[in-house]
């Protein structure tokens, strides 16, 4: 089945620093979705990217889909403690495949 590799697995940043997580696939994706799961919570949808080279912004979050539609990134500018959680990418299949994600800790 379609799988993606997400890096890094963990990231600790000081509050105010930027953060980026990357999602890489060996095959071309039709679309990609990003989810966030807060500690003790459930995954919550953030965004879906469909077009090659697409860039979408949500406040301090910037999502990119590669030109070849094989990779994607999520960048957070000036992290805040509310950004803490695990960020998952899903390779856009019908059954929502989640890897281990990237766990972000923000140190105040």
Partner 1 sequence: DTGVSQDPRHKITKRGQNVTFRCDPISEHNRLYWYRQTLGQGPEFLTYFQNEAQLEKSRLLSDRFSAERPKGSFSTLEIQRTEQGDSAMYLCASSLSSAEDLNTEAFFGQGTRLTVV
11 contributes a contact to partner 1 by CB under 8 A: no
In the chain, the N- to C-terminal Cα span, in Å, equals 40
85 part of the interface to partner 1, by CB under 8 A: no
In sequence order, which residues have a C-beta less than 8 Å from that of residue 93 and are 6 or more positions away?
Answer: 1, 2
Q: For partner 1, which is the closer residue by CB, 75 or 98?
A: 98
Distance CA 48, CA 52 (A): 12
Q: Give whichever of 33 and 79 is closer to partner 1, judged by the CB atom.
A: 33
- Binding residue (CB under 8 A) for partner 1 from 2, 48, 73, 77: 48
Q: Which stretch binds partner 1 (CB under 8 A): 21-29, 42-50, 59-67, 73-81?
A: 42-50
Collapsing DSSP to helix, strand or coil, 104 comes out as strand
- Ordered strands of the 55-58 beta sheet: 4-7, 19-25, 71-76, 61-65, 55-58
Q: Which of 27, 30, 58, 80 binds partner 1 (CB under 8 A)?
A: 30
Rounded to a whole number of angstroms, the minimum distance from the CB of residue 90 to partner 1 is 8
DSSP state of 108: -
Determine, following the binding rule CB under 8 A, whether residue 84 of this chain makes contact with partner 1.
Answer: no
């Amino acid at each position: 089945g379609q799988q993606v590799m997400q890096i890094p697995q963990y990231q600790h940043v000081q509050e105010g620093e930027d953060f980026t997580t990357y999602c890489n696939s060996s095959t071309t994706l039709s679309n990609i979705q990003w989810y966030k799961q807060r500690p003790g919570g459930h995954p919550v949808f953030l965004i879906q990217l469909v077009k090659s080279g697409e860039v979408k912004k949500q406040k301090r979050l910037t999502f990119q889909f590669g030109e070849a539609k094989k990779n994607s990134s999520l960048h957070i500018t000036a992290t805040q403690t509310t950004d803490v959680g695990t960020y998952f990418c899903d390779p856009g299949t019908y059954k929502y495949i989640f890897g281990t994600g990237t766990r972000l800790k923000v140190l105040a």
